[in-house]
Structure 1
Amino acid sequence: MDNKQQDEQQSRMSRSQYRQQQRQTEQQPINEATENTTDQPYSREAVASQRHDETVAEKTARLKRRLNIAIIALIVAIIIVYLILFYVG
């Protein structure tokens, strides 16, 4: 019974001890992630391919926007033509 009480006292923590333990467990994955990125420096090829991917993504987004505008303009033009034909004819 004496061992049981000692185990309970050891398992009990104050709030500050618990918070400190939680901070340490939260920071461990962050530290591991930053260590992995700093261990391997970027090569010129990796940086160039990353920049190329970013420019391709930007160009694709710009093209999507332009195509959406063109489609909307064509739909509006078709509606205008139908209205003109309906009221004139």
Structure 2
Amino acid sequence: MDNRQPQDGQQSRMSRSQYRQQQREAEQQPVQEPRQESAQPYSREAAANQRHEESVVEKTNRLKRRLNITIIALVAAIIIVYLILFYVG
């Protein structure tokens, strides 16, 4: 009794190369995505989510800009203090 053979006969034995070929063919077939009705406008929730995402991106960019300015100001202040201590002391 060979345990490797299917008992119901539905599956046929195939070599590794045949199996790989079958997998490649399955990957190459285009995946059909469900159709979305483009005529229907965004829902209120989708529009609210989009506005929220835009505001988050805008706030993040604004914070990045402020942090860069603060870092530059602190580096300049450290250099000024160093120069004052060097020439006065």
Query: Which of the residues 63, 71, 74 maps onto 1:71?
Result: 74
| Counterparts of residues 48-59 of structure 1 (less than 5 Å) | 48-59=51-62
Whole-angstrom distance in 1 between the partners of 2:52 and 2:25: 37
Aligned-residue Cα RMSD (Å) equals: 3.8
What TM-score, normalized by structure 2, do the two folds share? 0.60
Query: Which of the residues 17, 20, 45 maps onto 1:18?
Result: 20
5+ long unaligned stretches in structure 2: 7-11
Whole-angstrom distance in 1 between the partners of 2:78 and 2:25: 57
Identity %: 18
What TM-score, normalized by structure 1, do the two folds share? 0.60
The count of corresponding residues between Structure 1 and Structure 2 is 77
